Amino acid sequence: MSVTAVSRPEPCILVIFGATGDLTQRKLYPALINLAAQGRLPEHFAVVAVGRREKTDALVREEAKRAAAAAGAAPAVIAEAEGLLKRLHYFQMDFDVEAAYPSLRSRLAGLDAEYNTQGNRIYFLAVAPQYFGSIADYLYRQGMTANQGAWQRVVVEKPFGRNLPSARQLNARLTQAFGERRVYRIDHYLGKEMLQNLMVIRFANTLFEPLWNGRFIEEVQISINETVGVGSRGGYYDGAGALRDMVQNHMLQLLTLTAMEPPVDLDADSIRDEKVKVLRSLRPLEAADLATSVIRGQYGPGIIDGKPVVGYREEERVDPNSNTETYVALKLHIDNFRWSGVPFYLRTGKRLPVRSSEIVIRFREQPGVLYFGKGYSELGPNLLVIKIQPEEGVFLQFNARQPGTQGTIVPVRMDYCQNCGTGLDSPEAYERLLADVMRGDSTLFTRWDEVEYAWEFVDQIAGYWEQAGTPVEIYPAGSWGPEGADRLLARNGHRWILPFQCLLTDRPGFEGIGAGPMVESGPFEDSKEPS
């Protein structure tokens, strides 16, 4: 499989709605500055940051530099981006008022002439979701989505709706203005390096692909564990919860990339067609599954990194009686040939002891004919861990005889890390995503039918919780989440597999993290490296 050739993007103006917002400051400015320093922006290019407050170009340029420095850009990188900073302009307007749009249109036309950007536009909606639809309507009605002989694209952040009906309404407005092919729905997880690597690991290795099915795989666990709490986002989060915030998008994207069939080609639609087939094969959850196979939890007060932290209900802008979940664990099945009989366990939560996102493939165990009953120890499982963050790479656990013993079989590990060591920092997801929008490559963005099927799946759960009044199970911050999540797996004779950092007990900072009833490492608890 060869790497897709990267073409230099065409001329365009990037218009960022929400210039003062958190996303622009934390992600977009740093990503643009890095792209500029690497010479990956179009030759003819400008950025227009749109916001309500009064600001000068000089001020936003300073803000962009500060944002890049805060994100870790070296002074030399920022200096390299000087050319971009001169092309960063501010435009003050109330983007919720249609009458303000004609003057934006003239400003953009003026910049086209100045920078030879040829009428091409990327509108990045880095604003609160309630404005997505109206901005698209105004751009459309003011003729800003149909420049003659040019292209216009729109980038929308999550959340894409709150449920299927609201997502449909939003989609109708966006596609009226831009058409499906020019709508880029961000799921920043798709920009993460290991997600792009997952297809290569699966499909470019004879070692894995033939085993990647229910005959050889016992279970799949997909986890996004966070140590952070809800922070300053309580206003949004309390109305969303982990199911909408994480499962509907990031978790289901990880699932589709793990489970999909090989695509016929590497173009955006071939890949997305396969992802959609996975979503279409999700077994609908019956009432009994909804009651027992989906666990919702909420963090209470506890300890993170040795420091006390407040419970979710005491967080800023959160209802003190909130029943919003900050943790979800669920079991699902994919009803197709490949995955028949394999449970997929998904879990995500805030205020857990370790930050780690990973996909664990646990292979079926060998019958052990040769080794059972002959003084050999029990065999541990073969595990393949796709490490998404903080470390990126692959971790493989297999069995070997401990040297110098009669017949002690121990699990041993091969650990590949692609971002360990200095100078190996992977590009930030937003760098890749912005570069792709500029090149018109939508592979790493979600297509409407993916969003639609994902909402359909999630709505069954949200609807059940609402109707049944399912309470959240409180777990102490710094613990591994509600006990119900353990019982969920125990029913199938499974247990959560520790994040790989915790398996490596010799790593500084991770000693003892695995302690406690939630995380006994089960079949491989005595899995120390042979000495």
486 in Cβ contact with 497 (< 8 Å): no
In whole angstroms, the minimum distance from the beta carbon of 158 to ligand BG6 comes to 6
In whole angstroms, the minimum distance from the beta carbon of 385 to ligand BG6 comes to 17
| Residue matched to tokens 């997600």 | 195
Give the separation between CA 507 and CA 505, rounded to whole angstroms: 5
Strands 45-51 and 88-92: parallel
- CB neighbour class for 78 (10 Å; exposed up to 12, middle 13-18, buried from 19): buried
Nearer to ligand BG6, 133 or 191 (CB): 191
Give the separation between CA 446 and CA 453, rounded to whole angstroms: 11
In whole angstroms, the minimum distance from the beta carbon of 159 to ligand BG6 comes to 8
- Phi and psi at residue 416, to the nearest 5°: -105, 125
Angle of CA points 67, 23, 92, to nearest 5°: 85
Measured CA to CA in angstroms, residue 40 lies from 1, 44, 303, 431, 522 at distances of 24, 12, 43, 10, 48
250 is catalytic: yes
When asked if residue 226 is in the footprint of ligand BG6 (CB under 6 A), the reply is yes
Restricted to residues 346-365, the positions that interact with ligand BG6 (CB under 6 A) are: 357
Nearest to 328 by CA among 307, 346, 309, 304: 346
Give the separation between CA 333 and CA 279, rounded to whole angstroms: 10
DSSP structural state of residue 162: S
DSSP structural state of residue 74: -
Nearest to 25 by CA among 58, 68, 59: 68
- Helix, strand counts (H, E) of the chain: 18, 17
Angle of CA points 344, 349, 354, to nearest 5°: 100
Give the separation between CA 197 and CA 287, rounded to whole angstroms: 37
Nearer to ligand BG6, 357 or 397 (CB): 357
State the CB neighbour count (10 A cutoff) for residue 405.
Answer: 12
Up-side HSE of residue 85: CA atoms within 13 Å toward CB? 21
In whole angstroms, the minimum distance from the beta carbon of 431 to ligand BG6 comes to 14
Up-side HSE of residue 257: CA atoms within 13 Å toward CB? 26
Nearer to ligand BG6, 55 or 355 (CB): 355
In whole angstroms, the minimum distance from the beta carbon of 226 to ligand BG6 comes to 6
Nearer to ligand BG6, 245 or 486 (CB): 245
When asked if residue 431 is in the footprint of ligand BG6 (CB under 6 A), the reply is no
Nearer to ligand BG6, 164 or 194 (CB): 194
In whole angstroms, the minimum distance from the beta carbon of 31 to ligand BG6 comes to 13
In whole angstroms, the minimum distance from the beta carbon of 357 to ligand BG6 comes to 6
Nearest to 44 by CA among 147, 137, 119, 124: 119
When asked if residue 428 is in the footprint of ligand BG6 (CB under 6 A), the reply is no
| Binding-residue pattern over the window 158 to 197 for ligand BG6, x denoting contact by CB under 6 A | x---------------------------------------
Nearer to ligand BG6, 60 or 67 (CB): 67
Collapsed DSSP state (helix, strand, coil) of residue 115: helix
117 in Cβ contact with 44 (< 8 Å): yes
Give the separation between CA 267 and CA 271, rounded to whole angstroms: 6
Nearer to ligand BG6, 236 or 376 (CB): 236
Nearer to ligand BG6, 25 or 357 (CB): 357
Strands (E), 139-204: 152-156, 183-185
Q: Is 162 left (phi over 0), alpha (psi -120 to 50) or beta?
A: alpha
SS3 content of the chain, % helix, strand, coil (to 5): 40, 20, 40
Nearest residue to ligand BG6, using CB? 245
When asked if residue 245 is in the footprint of ligand BG6 (CB under 6 A), the reply is yes
Size of the site for ligand BG6 (CB under 6 A): 4
| Residue matched to tokens 């040829």 | 118
Restricted to residues 105-164, the positions that interact with ligand BG6 (CB under 6 A) are: 158
Nearer to ligand BG6, 51 or 129 (CB): 129
Nearer to ligand BG6, 158 or 362 (CB): 158
Active-site residue, selected from the candidate residues 44, 250, 333, 494:
250
Q: Residue numbers of the site for ligand BG6 (CB under 6 A)?
A: 158, 226, 245, 357
Which residues have a catalytic role annotated? 250
